[in-house]
């Protein structure tokens, strides 16, 4: 079971496309993820000491902030990090019990919590740090791509999207089939040059990150002219007024 499945021809590769240009780092995706998944497929997601010092818990999505580049080119980029649902994930093949698996039909990587022994090897094998141990239940947990929302016929169709995508106030998160070149997410990736993370490690992640847009080149910085109020010397202030006319 932890062998990677033969993918049927035309199988979907569901995943997320995250726009690093518009993400404002508000943590809404992480919060809504926690809210939905605490009672979802892999729930509960425990919190330890939630109301005191040392509060920590299991989350599927963590939003970092980075500075990239120097000087005028430099910028702050908010960076949500979650499971990338890789095409060749080692977290699946290292699992000794078959609890960790990749679905043939849509490529979602899941953990069967009933078969997990909590050895933690899958988390060691994931270069992205996407898996977190539930230390209360002693089993590994991870992003399910909201498998219990996206196929859920009991909720209105527009809401059959991962909780993080629905929560994003700047529409920086997009969900879809990255195996279909005609899908909205594939078009976004093609248009904006969507990037994989750590491609050199060879896990072939499905999720893509859209790079921040190039900003228009700013004019050379210029020295502000002094206002009359800045000139303390009355003679100079008079001269400034005369010459400014």
Q: Does 153 bind other proteins (CB under 8 A)?
A: no
Contacts 24+ apart (CB under 8 A), 176-184: 176/14, 176/15, 176/17, 177/12, 177/13, 177/14, 177/106, 178/13, 178/14, 178/15, 178/17, 178/206, 178/207, 178/208, 179/10, 179/11, 179/12, 179/13, 179/107, 180/12
Q: What would the x/- binding string for other proteins be over residues 192 to 231, using CB under 8 A?
A: ---xxxxxxxx------x-xx-------------------
Least spacing, CB of residue 5 vs other proteins, in Å: 12
Q: Could you tell me the smallest distance in angstroms from the CB atom of residue 106 to other proteins? A: 21
CA atoms of 13 and 81, how far apart (whole Å): 19
Question: Least CB distance from residue 173 to other proteins, whole Å?
Answer: 15
Contact between 70 and other proteins by CB under 8 A: the answer reads yes
CB of 244 to other proteins, least distance (A): 41
Which H helix or E strand runs over 210?
A: strand 208-210
Binding site residues, other proteins, CB under 8 A = 1-3, 20, 25, 30, 53-56, 58-59, 62-70, 73-77, 79, 81, 90, 92-99, 115-121, 123-129, 132-135, 137-140, 195-202, 209, 211-212
């Amino acid at each position: 079971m932890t062998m990677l499945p033969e993918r049927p021809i035309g199988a979907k590769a569901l995943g997320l496309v995250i726009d690093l240009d518009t993400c404002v780092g508000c943590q809404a995706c992480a919060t809504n993820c926690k809210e939905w998944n605490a009672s979802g497929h892999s729930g509960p997601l425990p919190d330890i000491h939630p109301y005191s010092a040392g509060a920590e818990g299991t989350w599927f999505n963590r939003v970092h902030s980075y500075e990239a580049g120097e000087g005028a080119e430099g910028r702050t980029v908010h960076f949500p990090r979650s499971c990338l649902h890789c095409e060749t994930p080692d977290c699946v093949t290292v699992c000794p019990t078959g609890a960790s698996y990749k679905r043939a039909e849509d490529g979602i990587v899941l953990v069967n919590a009933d078969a997990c022994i909590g050895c933690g090897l899958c988390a060691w094998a994931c270069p992205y740090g996407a898996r977190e141990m539930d230390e209360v239940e002693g089993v590994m947990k991870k992003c399910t791509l909201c498998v219990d929302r996206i196929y859920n016929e009991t909720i209105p169709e527009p809401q059959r999207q991962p909780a993080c995508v629905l929560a994003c106030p700047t529409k920086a998160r997009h969900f879809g089939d990255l195996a279909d070149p005609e899908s909205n997410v594939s078009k976004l990736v093609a248009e904006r040059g969507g990037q994989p993370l750590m491609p050199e490690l060879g896990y072939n992640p499905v999720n893509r990150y859209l790079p921040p847009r190039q900003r228009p080149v700013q004019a050379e910085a210029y020295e502000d002219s002094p206002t009359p109020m800045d000139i303390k010397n009355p003679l100079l202030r008079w001269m400034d007024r005369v010459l400014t006319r």
